A = this chain, B = another copy of it.
């Protein structure tokens, strides 16, 4: 495998995009202690139905939450694995162990003006 980087970057970028909004982060925070019904989220998030639905869809498309339909209610819950996937992406940038302290990856040869 030579060209895995582009895909991973695109996926990581998509994850971070889903995380890049205050309302969505607040929603994820509310889901921390378990599944919540959409109607329970509206007031604490200060988001009306349509807007909340939009943001939940962004989170769902990124895989960060799952939804479950029950009667006329919809319940959302965190997908911790995907949250960890995001943490992993961050870690691979050196957030946990700096690159200098890790086994070297494929070297990237950089050429530029400032020889």
Decide: A110 near B36, CB < 8 A? Known: A87-B95, A90-B86, A91-B87. Answer: yes
With both chains docked as a complex, state the minimum distance between the C-beta of A42 and any C-beta of chain B, in angstroms: 7
Copies in the complex: 2
With both chains docked as a complex, state the minimum distance between the C-beta of A51 and any C-beta of chain B, in angstroms: 16
User: Could you write out 15 A-B pairs with CB less than 8 Å apart?
Assistant: A5-B26, A6-B22, A9-B25, A10-B22, A13-B21, A17-B17, A19-B20, A25-B89, A32-B94, A36-B110, A41-B110, A80-B95, A80-B98, A87-B91, A87-B95
Tell me the A residues contacting B by CB distance below 8 Å: 5-6, 9-10, 12-14, 16-17, 19-22, 25-26, 28-30, 32-34, 36-44, 73, 78, 80, 83-84, 86-87, 89-91, 93-96, 98-100, 104, 108, 110-114
